Amino acid sequence: MLAAIGVMVLLAVAIGLVLGWSAIRFKVEGNPLAEKIDAILPQTQCGQCGFPGCRPYAEAIAKGEADINQCPPGGEEGVKKLAELLGVEPKPLDEAHGTPKPKSVAFIDEQTCIGCTLCIQACPVDAISGAAKQMHTIIAAECTGCELCLPPCPVDCISMVPIAEDLPHWKWKHPVVMMKKIAETEGA
């Protein structure tokens, strides 16, 4: 009897030690929920959600301090994904934070640019290259289209150019016509 109790106690202590050790050893860094939310956000870093970037917004959602419908670049689909992740009902985008726009990249009119570096300081992803008093250029492949470089430019030489559809970017469309027909017949 005593031996049995002793064995159980020893076992409990041993398992407790292992658990305690692994809690320290395999500690999860950061906030895993915020991480998951951040993975869904589009990383445009535009701040339209009211936070200085996607990560802070993700953290605010994780803490329950922000709603899931504040990110226009993510669109309805982003809201849907967030709702799915958090197990809540999806809701329409909050218009107060803006509406989704077609994907664009910034373009600097190099004739007008005075090389003031103000846009460089505004770009959240370092997608503008240039130096003081030198003409600046956007690295289109890295531009997220956040529009943050537009207001600081003193000569208004930056414009947003929608990304034109070309062959490598072309997508098969949802066979809408057929869908309509199916819907019709289903309705009938």
Partner 1 sequence: MSRELFKFKGGVHPPEHKAESTSRPIHAAPLPKKLVIPLRQHIGNPAKPVVEIGERVLKGQMIAAADGYISTAVHASSSGTVTAIDLQPVPHISGLPDLCITIETDGRDEWVAHAPLDYQAMEPSQLRMQLRDLGLAGLGGAVFPSAVKLDPGASHACTTLIINGGECEPWITCDDMLMRHHADEILQGVGIMRHLLGSTEILVGIEDNKPEALDSMRSAAAKLDFAVEVVKVPARYPGGGAKQMIETLTGRQVPSGKLSTDIGIQVFNVGTSYALARAIHHGEPLITRLVTVTGHVLRPQNFEVLIGTPMHTLITLAGDRDGTTGVLMGGPMMGVPMPNLDVPVVKATNCILVKSAELFPPLPKALPCIRCTRCADACPVELQPQELFRFAKAGDFGRAQEYHLFDCIECGCCSYVCPSHIPLVDFYRYAKSEIWAREKDKRAADLARERHEFRQFRQEREKKEKAEKLAAKAQAARAQAALDQAQRAELAAAPAAEGAAVSDTDAKKALIAAALARAQAKKSDAAPKNVDQLTSEQLHQIEEIEARRTKIRELARKPLESEEKKP
User: Contact positions toward partner 1, by CB under 8 A?
Assistant: 38, 41-45, 53-55, 124-127, 142, 144, 165-167, 169-175, 178-179, 181-182, 185-186
The residue ranges of DSSP E strands in 5-60, in sequence order, are none
Residue among 46, 61, 79, 113 that touches ligand SF4 (CB under 6 A): 46
Q: Which two tokens stand for residue 137?
A: 């250029």
Compare residues 91 and 180 and give the one whose CB is closer to partner 1. 180
| CA 91 – CA 70 distance, rounded (Å) | 10
Beta carbons of 42 and 74 less than 8 angstroms apart? yes
The listed partner (ligand SF4, partner 1, none) that binds 74, CB under 5 to 8 Å by sort, is: ligand SF4
Compare residues 96 and 176 and give the one whose CB is closer to partner 1. 176
Closest CA to 135 of 123, 120, 147: 120
Stretch that binds ligand SF4, among 19-27, 46-54, 82-90, 178-186 (CB under 6 A): 46-54
| CA 27 – CA 150 distance, rounded (Å) | 43
Residue 60 binds to ligand SF4 (criterion: CB under 6 A): no
Stretch that binds ligand SF4, among 1-9, 40-48, 82-90, 170-178 (CB under 6 A): 40-48
| 70, 72, 76, 82 alpha-carbon torsion, rounded to 10° | -50
**Distance of closest approach, residue 170 Cβ to partner 1, in angstroms:** 5
